[in-house]
Amino acid sequence: MTPASAPHVRPAAPLSRHAPATDIALSCHGIERSFGGLRALKGVDLEVRQGQIFGLVGPNGSGKTTMVNVMTGFYPPNAGRVELFGADITRMAPHKVARCGVARTFQNLALFKGMSVLDNVLLGRHVHMRPSALASLFYWVWAEREELAHRRVVEEIIDFMQLQDIRDEPVEAIPMGLQKRVELARALVAQPRFLILDEPMAGMNQEEKEYIARFILDARDERDVTIFIIEHHMDVVTAICDEVVVLCYGEVIARGDPATAIAQPQVVKAYLGERAAARHAGTAS
Amino acid sequence: MFYRRAGILHTRYQDERQLWPFAFDRGLVATVLAILLVAPFAFDRIYLVTYLLPWIIWSSAALGLNLLMGGAGQVHLGYGAVMGIGAYASVHLLRAGIPLELALLAGGLASAAIGSLFGAAALRVKGLYLAMATLAMQYIVDFIISHFSIISGGSQATLQVPPVRFLGVSLASDAAAYYFALLICVGIVLFMLNVRRTSFGRALAAVREKDYAAAVIGVDSFRFKLVAFFVSSFVGGMVGCVMAVSYYRAVSPDQFHLDLSIQLVAMVIVGGLGSVLGSFFGAALILFAPIVLNHAVAFGADTFGVGISADLRAHLPLMLYGAMIVGFLLWEPLGLAKIYNNARNYFMVWPLRHNR
């Protein structure tokens, strides 16, 4: 896809407006992870500054999702260190990482079937609630007030994500584009400090992509959240990301400003192959 | 037509989350509760003691199991043993002179403690393996109860429940025993209904549906599975106590064998996993279908003068019973509650066809 078809979103705001450049939200040092004989990540380093929209790109199988799974505790790394706002979260269980203010969406949706959109989004409030069986038994005196307080927060996100008319639908009954939006709402309602989006625009048409891009920018600007995004649509990456890292076979092959990074010859080669890259270089010069 | 959605305009969140938003549903619940309350005066004693009372008790037990199976998605083939622990614990306390109010809670706690101890071990495995692990619990508890005479009072012994009072009322009469069981049942029903609209029930459902997605929103899967085991076993222990006190009025090891566990699992699955109403439907079907079919076959053979042999007369109801369960599950795998819901949804907009 060419930059000409980029969604009509405003260019990323300058970083300095959000946070001083020294504020590191997440840093990974020398992350190694292998599955059997396959070294999926070969010493990856990256640093995400607070208030950034940080892109992680790379061809299929380059280790992007593995990287995210290491960050969120699903795959403990074989070596390396993950720090979130200065605290070490390496090898922490996923549910504890969530309590540190990390929310995430999945590449293939991970909504809870058989529940309504509203209940799915309410589940996003779990880290802020105190679920207990006794509270359920004495609902009227014990749980109702808490439920209602969290319902207000949820309704605010439902308005923000424009899900008002589907809040009572079962999640499996709504279209894919909306399901992705519900999952993003569930992640945002936890009021995370760090939000990880794994291909939020996969399988979407242009209009849906523009919607999601708008939600991501608004989330960063209005809700004070640092965003880490894996995405294949290069038009979106160049339009909304402040910084990118390009992975290929588990190694970082380029990093920095999105437009410059993805134009580098080794990145074009990783995506298109040797011959096509040579042709690309020929047309570019 | 019956269920009037028109004109229901909620202006507060608590109105929207109430248990029965439709006036017709509220009327239905009130009617059923009123019938259950006047039952001891309206019906013959034999119907009260042999039909209504076991239905109430077995439904309560099915509700407890449903929290674990339907709510948290964990199979339990040893629920009869869980109830047995509660029954024996509370009956021993009653015989020692402890009041029923405390013995009931202590029975629940004993079941919950032992049940979640087994649960903690069994929860390291999933699915069919969990089923086998809980089956092992059933056999271990059965063995311990019948072989330790300090618990069972001897291998063939039956322990009588002494005369007891609950909140100052003697449970000697059938009506009082029935009201005691009904009170516990209503409590369990309200608990189960509230679980579904609170964060506790949602967390259990998250664990049931996708454990990795549950982890990513901060739900500790293992902890919630264990809590589900604990609470479900607590309910089971209390119902075991109710069963001993107001139905059998005694305890013996054979009351809590594997057949009770299987019966309860069947009630939950046939009734509808996760459905409160379904537990009542399931209990009714599993308990009463054999009796009704027996009478129907005998009546049919007599009226139409078909000379069927005594063997066939004994076995035909069982065959029909099995066919009925298979038939219901083929018709609607989500259980009797789903069949009821389909009918309800149909009448929601009748005479029109579509809901929206």
ipTM greater than cut 0.90: no
The pLDDT confidence band at residue A5, using thresholds 50, 70 and 90, is very low
Q: Is residue B355 part of a domain?
A: no
Domain that holds residue B195: 43-349
| Secondary structure class of A194 (helix, strand, coil) | strand
Asked if A144 is an interface residue toward chain B (Cβ–Cβ < 8 A), one would say: yes
Same domain flag for A33 and A166: no
The C-alpha atoms of residue A189 and residue A184 are separated, in whole angstroms, by 9
Domain termination residue (choose one: A157, A175, A190): A190
Same domain flag for A257 and A235: yes
Question: How much of chain A, in percent, has pLDDT values that exceed 70?
Answer: 91
Helix or strand holding residue B26 (H, E): helix B23-42
Cβ burial of B210 (10 Å; 0-12, 13-18, 19+) is: middle
Same domain flag for B203 and B323: yes
C-beta atoms of B200 and A133 within 8 A: yes
Same domain flag for A94 and A215: yes
Asked if A113 is an interface residue toward chain B (Cβ–Cβ < 8 A), one would say: yes
C-beta atoms of B205 and A124 within 8 A: no
Query: Looking at beta carbons, which residues of chain B come within 8 Å of A129?
Result: 199
Residue B291: C-alpha distances to residues B287, B294, B351 (Å): 8, 5, 37
Distance from CA of A264 to the nearest CA of B (A): 35
Nearest Cα neighbor of B50 from B298, B288, B297, B293 is B288
Asked if A180 is an interface residue toward chain B (Cβ–Cβ < 8 A), one would say: no
In chain A, the residue whose alpha carbon lies closest to the alpha carbon of B203 is A123
Whether the predicted pLDDT of A223 surpasses 80: yes
Q: Kindly state the tokens that stand for B343.
A: 């009918």
Same domain flag for A53 and A131: no
Q: Is residue A106 part of a domain?
A: no
C-beta atoms of A122 and B202 within 8 A: yes
Number of domains in chain B: 2
* Residue in A120, A121, A128, A137 to test binding to B, most B beta-carbons within 10 Å: A137
Distance from CA of B17 to the nearest CA of A (A): 9
Distance from CA of A18 to the nearest CA of B (A): 26
Number of domains in chain A: 2
Whether the predicted pLDDT of A107 surpasses 80: yes
C-beta atoms of B13 and A119 within 8 A: no
Same domain flag for B237 and B303: yes
Distance from CA of B134 to the nearest CA of A (A): 23
- Cα A234 from chain centroid (whole Å): 16
Residue A284: per-residue pLDDT: 57
Phi/psi at B251 (nearest 5 deg)?
-125, 140
Query: Looking at beta carbons, which residues of chain A come within 8 Å of B212?
Result: 74, 94, 110
Q: What CATH number should be reported for the domain holding residue B221? A: 1.10.3470
| Secondary structure class of B163 (helix, strand, coil) | coil
Q: Kindly state the tokens that stand for B73.
A: 């998605």
Nearest Cα neighbor of A41 from A260, A249, A271 is A249
Same domain flag for A125 and A160: yes
Same domain flag for A93 and A26: yes
C-beta atoms of B195 and A110 within 8 A: no
Whether the predicted pLDDT of A195 surpasses 50: yes
Q: Is residue B354 part of a domain?
A: no
Same domain flag for B167 and B25: no
* Number of Cβ pairs < 8 A linking chain A and chain B: 108
Whether the predicted pLDDT of A265 surpasses 50: yes
Whether the predicted pLDDT of A11 surpasses 70: no
C-beta atoms of B218 and A110 within 8 A: no
Domain that holds residue A130: 112-190
Q: Is residue B144 part of a domain?
A: yes
The pLDDT confidence band at residue A15, using thresholds 50, 70 and 90, is very low
Question: How much of chain A, in percent, has pLDDT values that exceed 90?
Answer: 67
Same domain flag for B6 and B93: no
The pLDDT confidence band at residue A12, using thresholds 50, 70 and 90, is very low
Query: Looking at beta carbons, which residues of chain A come within 8 Å of B72?
Result: none
> What value, to the nearest 5°, has the Cα angle with vertex B262 and ends B260 and B268?
105
Residue A22: per-residue pLDDT: 59
- Per-residue confidence of chain B (356 residues) as pLDDT tens digits? 577 777 788 889 888 888 998 888 999 999 999 999 999 999 999 999 999 999 999 999 999 999 999 999 999 999 999 999 999 999 999 999 999 999 999 999 999 999 999 989 888 888 899 999 999 999 999 999 988 888 888 777 889 999 999 999 999 999 999 999 999 999 999 999 999 999 999 999 999 999 889 999 999 999 999 999 999 999 999 999 999 999 999 999 999 999 999 999 999 999 999 999 999 999 999 999 999 999 988 888 888 877 778 888 888 888 999 998 899 889 999 999 999 999 988 888 887 777 65
Cβ burial of B96 (10 Å; 0-12, 13-18, 19+) is: exposed
Same domain flag for A174 and A215: no
**Structure confidence by residue, pLDDT tens digits, A17-46:** 444 445 899 999 999 999 998 999 999 999
Same domain flag for A87 and A27: yes
Residue A20: per-residue pLDDT: 47
Average pLDDT over residues A122-135: 92
Same domain flag for A266 and A206: yes
User: Tokens 């002494």 identify what position?
Assistant: B162
Q: Is residue A68 part of a domain?
A: yes
